[in-house]
Amino acid sequence: MKFLFCGDVVGKSGRDVACHHIPLLRKKLNLDFVIINAENAAHGFGITKKIADQFYASGVDVITTGNHIWDQKETIAHISAEPRLLRPLNFPKKSPGKGYTIVENARGHKLMVVNVMGQMFMESLDDPFQAVDDLLSTYKLGQNVQAVLVDIHAEANSEKVAMGHFLDGRATLVAGTHTHIPTADYMILKNGTAYITDVGMTGDYDSVIGMNKNIVLERFVKKIRGEKLQPAEGSGTLCGVFVESDDATGKAIRIKPLRIDGILDQTIP
């Protein structure tokens, strides 16, 4: 199985570069699935149904999110009816929507996508480790699902790394999101799980993690909270990781970073 997971889409720059390249990448890389984290897609804050539909039309199979999932209030109304749009699994049980979904390719192979949120330096939530552990007691890698992707949306690198080792051998890919900076530690762990601490942001890198740098600098340099944060609107970079897995075991056999367009160094698997 071959799939692409792309990091936090920020604003119009991120949407444009993602929607342009995803149809091309599906063909070029012979992808079975494309998954994106898009919790910042609506002008930097949340996601709307219209934007989600644009991603699906471009070839996205599943959308993960994080702490900004409820920033657009309309999401609350439609997320329960849309299994392709996830909120973190360890949100309260009464929260609308689900924290995981299963998608199937033309060959009948199933990919389970799981979305969890970290606890360190973030909102108080249920234990993400226990939440995933409980879920994977039912869904077994290489048995009733051929691959498992876990998006851990977290602030602390240590928590992301710990999740990778915790799920080594039980997930095909554990990938971090939220910090918007691509990391160079993509690897396959000892027991066959592909891992990266942060897949990076899909958006304009001539910015402060996707936001207009001048507005952010005012806050840091002058301690003035004046103008509302706005996404940067320059040329966007599509950031993600490509993973190939063994259908029989669900273990990863290849992981490579992807960066297209914008100002970062370019790399295509």
pLDDT of 226 reads 76
How far from the centroid of its chain's Cα atoms is residue 46's Cα? Answer: 13
pLDDT of 227 reads 83
Spatial neighbors of 73 by CB under 8 A, at least 6 apart, are none
Question: Which alpha helices (DSSP H) does 175-245 contain, by range?
Answer: 213-222
pLDDT of 19 reads 98
- Alpha-carbon span 66 to 240, nearest angstrom: 17
Q: Is 180 a catalytic residue?
A: no
DSSP state of 184: S
pTM attached to this predicted model: 0.96
- Alpha-carbon span 268 to 92, nearest angstrom: 38
Domains by residue range for the chain, with CATH:
2-260 (3.60.21.10)
pLDDT in tens, the chain (269 residues): 999 999 999 999 999 999 999 999 999 999 999 999 999 999 999 999 999 999 999 999 999 999 999 999 999 999 999 999 999 999 999 999 999 999 999 999 999 999 999 999 998 899 999 999 999 999 999 999 999 999 999 999 999 999 999 999 999 999 999 999 999 999 999 999 999 999 999 999 999 999 999 999 999 998 888 788 999 999 999 999 999 999 999 999 999 999 999 999 999 99
Contact 117, 153 (CB under 8 A): yes
Within a 13 Å sphere around the CA of 94, how many CA atoms are in the beta-carbon half? 0
Residue of 68, 153, 178, 180 with catalytic role: 68
